[in-house]
């Protein structure tokens, strides 16, 4: 005798039809194996993997540097350089934050790109009609990489953002975010609209994010932040086996706990004034609850549950120019919508939003006077 539920056949599809021929266990095992093989292939394309299944960040092809010498290959001349930045990318965000905090918006040109792998010919970054490529007229970032040598050729390698291009010579300068942010901090700009060698919106002078007296401490913390947190969340999300994920997840949790403790004692990463270490940490922290905690499976901790880290994030958000660099809704749309191997359905969560994160609220951690917030050259 066969007993059936009253007219409810929902969910009785493939397993029902094939059940008499192929046992359910065999069918499920086969489908899982096929899906995992396809997923593994897509993950390898998305993120280079080590033999033990751990994400390995690719090396960067261009390592040029801007110098204050007018005779240098890349002199620090205002309006000569273009920064190609992806809106959702945290590595691009540290560059845009450096531009904003130092007030360099009229010294270098920023072109924001959209993450859309279906429209891109390789990689994911494309230009929109209202934000076209001002140097090459390219359709996507791959074409910029192909054309930057002055002649059309096929660039071999990953077409990553950020990318700094010398618009006068039409060649790539650098595509490593830490290098770009550091040179934007270090150099003063020749031929500035505010006069020679003046790169500041403040009467106190030029913002210095890496003051010499703190340079060693900043470099040490930056290295730790990169390993444990900035790259740690990507090692979590892009791992292809459980052991690799577990190692990364422990690093991320330890980093968040250490930062919570550190920020209990000081307003910013190195005392009461903003430094490069704050710039390195903020892009990861402001994306954490909205993206990494869920999509990248970094779910053992939330910034929302860490009062000091959350207050630091809110405090940093209120710094001059920072608000304009943040797009929490855009982060969710890009990560959940474009990272297909991690979210095949493409469903984008409705939150948390910037309001949910408390961005825009003053956590009352200290004075908002420029002289109290920044080091100056």
Binding residues for glutathione: 125, 176-177
CA 369 to chain centre: 29
3-state class (DSSP) for residue 58: coil
Q: Whose CA is closest to 31, among 44, 18, 45, 42?
A: 18
d(CA 291, CA 337): 11
Q: Are 124 and 102 in contact (CB under 8 A)?
A: no
Q: Which residues are annotated as a binding site?
A: 125, 176-177
d(CA 335, CA 91): 14
Q: Which two tokens stand for residue 246?
A: 């577990």
CA dist list (Å): 320 to 106, 247, 274: 15, 37, 12
CA 177 to chain centre: 10
Residues in contact with 185: Cβ distance below 8 Å, sequence separation at least 6, in sequence order: 98, 102, 208, 209, 210, 276
Q: Are 225 and 285 in contact (CB under 8 A)?
A: no
Q: Whose CA is closest to 287, among 55, 98, 91?
A: 91
Q: Are 195 and 106 in contact (CB under 8 A)?
A: no
Q: Which of 81, 234, 317, 331 is catalytic?
A: 234
Tell me if residue 298 is catalytic: no
Tell me if residue 89 is catalytic: yes
Q: Is the dihedral of CA 325, 292, 227, 262 positive or negative?
A: positive
d(CA 118, CA 135): 23
Q: Are 299 and 347 in contact (CB under 8 A)?
A: no
Q: Which of 55, 81, 89, 317 is catalytic?
A: 89
CA dist list (Å): 200 to 109, 204, 268, 325: 16, 8, 22, 19
Q: Could you give the residue numbers annotated as active site? A: 89, 234
């Amino acid at each position: 005798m066969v007993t059936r539920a009253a007219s409810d056949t929902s969910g009785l599809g493939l397993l029902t039809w094939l059940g008499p021929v192929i046992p359910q266990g065999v069918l499920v095992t086969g489908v899982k194996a096929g899906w995992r093989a396809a997923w593994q292939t897509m993950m390898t394309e998305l993120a280079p993997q080590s033999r033990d299944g751990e994400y390995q960040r690719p090396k960067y092809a261009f390592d040029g540097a801007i110098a204050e010498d007018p005779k240098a290959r890349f002199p620090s001349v205002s309006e000569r350089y273009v920064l190609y930045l992806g809106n959702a990318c945290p590595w691009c965000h540290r560059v845009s934050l450096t531009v904003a905090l130092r007030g360099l918006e009229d010294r270098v040109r920023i072109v924001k790109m959209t993450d859309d792998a279906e429209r891109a010919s390789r990689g994911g970054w494309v230009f929109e009609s209202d934000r076209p490529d001002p140097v090459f007229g390219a359709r996507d970032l791959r074409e910029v990489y192909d054309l930057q040598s002055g002649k059309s050729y096929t660039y071999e390698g990953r077409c990553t953002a950020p990318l700094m291009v010398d618009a006068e010579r039409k060649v790539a300068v650098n595509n490593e975010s830490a290098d770009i942010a550091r040179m934007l901090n270090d150099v003063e700009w020749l031929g500035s609209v505010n006069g020679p060698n003046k790169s500041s919106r403040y009467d106190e002078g030029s913002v210095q994010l890496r003051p010499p007296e703190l340079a060693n401490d900043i470099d040490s913390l930056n290295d730790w932040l990169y390993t444990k947190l900035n790259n740690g969340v990507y090692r979590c999300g892009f791992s292809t086996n459980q052991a690799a994920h577990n190692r990364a997840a422990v690093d991320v949790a330890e980093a968040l706990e250490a930062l919570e403790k550190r920020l209990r004692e000081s307003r910013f990463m190195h005392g009461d004034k903003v430094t490069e270490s704050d710039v390195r940490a903020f892009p990861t922290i402001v994306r954490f609850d909205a993206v990494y905690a869920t999509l990248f499976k970094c779910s053992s901790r939330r910034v929302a549950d860490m009062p000091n880290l959350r207050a630091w994030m809110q405090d940093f958000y209120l710094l001059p120019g920072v608000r304009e660099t943040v797009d929490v809704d855009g982060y969710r749309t890009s990560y959940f919508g474009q990272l297909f191997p991690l979210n095949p359905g493409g469903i984008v969560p409705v939150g948390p939003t910037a309001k949910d994160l408390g961005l825009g609220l003053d956590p009352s951690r200290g004075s908002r006077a420029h002289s109290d917030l920044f080091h100056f050259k």
